[in-house]
Amino acid sequence: MKQRIVLALGGNALGNNLPEQMKAVQSTAGTIADLIAQGHEVVVTHGNGPQVGMIQQAFEVAARHDPKAPHLPMSVCVALSQGYIGYDLQNALREALLARGIHKPVATLVTQVEVDKNDPAFLDPSKPIGGFFSKEEAEALMAKGERLKEDAGRGYRRVVASPKPIDIIEKETVSAMLAAGQVVITVGGGGIPVLREGNHLRGASAVIDKDWASARLAELIDADMLIILTAVEKVAINFGKPDVQWLDQLSVADANSFIAQGQFAKGSMLPKVEAALSFATSMAGRRSLITLLEKAADGIAGKTGTLISL
């Protein structure tokens, strides 16, 4: 049965540096192309953790050597990461589709995501970005109004907020491209965070969780399924313990109960479960799946993964 699917790629689908990325997208593209070959309408989203950090760090190094070198705002760094990840991914996906005899245009869309300036996340930025600074360097930057925090004894790093997504600015463009039979790569790195000021969209010093942004996109384009791809085949409770339990299905009640118990790690599985839960409860008939990239097709068929639905 043909479905409209938002496929949120995990970090393992893109590698940690440019050579790894170029290699990783080849197998990633093959899996996505197989889903399209089955008749599904697929929108691809992805993270940008290592990539946006490398971009930020490169400009930090340049600024240390040349005072005239710009310090790019986070919104611009995210935009740059969307471009260079999309470049590799769209070319690999185009090639994989053509190898299967499928002639579909594939395009990366530079995507902005609206956030609320009053989001509590802006009061306590906690997402570390870029390279490390000594205490003296950090104090000098903080004196200029920048936000830095000590990071696990390794030095100081810039920190930004991670607010929740409100709206996907280019949602109509995504829908139009889908209606034209195209494959869209969008909301890269959670989207470029912007604040709405009348008719103007101003970049925000923030990063948006890509799973939450993917869930919001899935709602707005009326997707049937949100698939969040990660490093494990299924969601587990008591993870890492002798009595670990891998979950085939996760009801809304159980999901909320497990979240309250602290079963899911804040930096990894928790935002995935919360985002999946948000989409699955947004309308009857919508489903979320959390699984491995290579198990996506089996997950859609109900053979594996963790399914979340009303």
Angstrom distance (rounded) from CA 80 to CA 94: 21
Angstrom distance (rounded) from CA 224 to CA 209: 21
Angstrom distance (rounded) from CA 18 to CA 88: 10
**Buried residues in 128-141 as b, exposed as e (16+ CB within 10 A):** bbbbbbeeeebeeb
Q: Is 210 designated active site?
A: yes
Alpha-carbon Rg of the chain, whole angstroms?
20
Q: Is 266 designated active site?
A: no
Active site residue: 10, 11, 15, 53, which one?
11
Active site residue: 272, 295, 299, 305, which one?
272
Angstrom distance (rounded) from CA 4 to CA 39: 9
Angstrom distance (rounded) from CA 44 to CA 32: 8
Angstrom distance (rounded) from CA 88 to CA 188: 13
Element housing 5 (H / E): strand 4-9
Q: Is 12 designated active site?
A: yes
Active site residue: 12, 16, 91, 256, which one?
12
Q: Can you point out the beta strands (E) in 151-261?
A: 156-160, 167-168, 183-185, 192-197, 200-203, 225-229, 235-237, 245-247, 249-250
User: What is the residue whose two structure tokens read 């889908």?
Assistant: 178
Active site residue: 10, 48, 86, 127, which one?
127
Active site residue: 164, 171, 210, 234, which one?
210
Element housing 82 (H / E): helix 74-99
Positions marked active-site: 11-12, 127, 210, 272
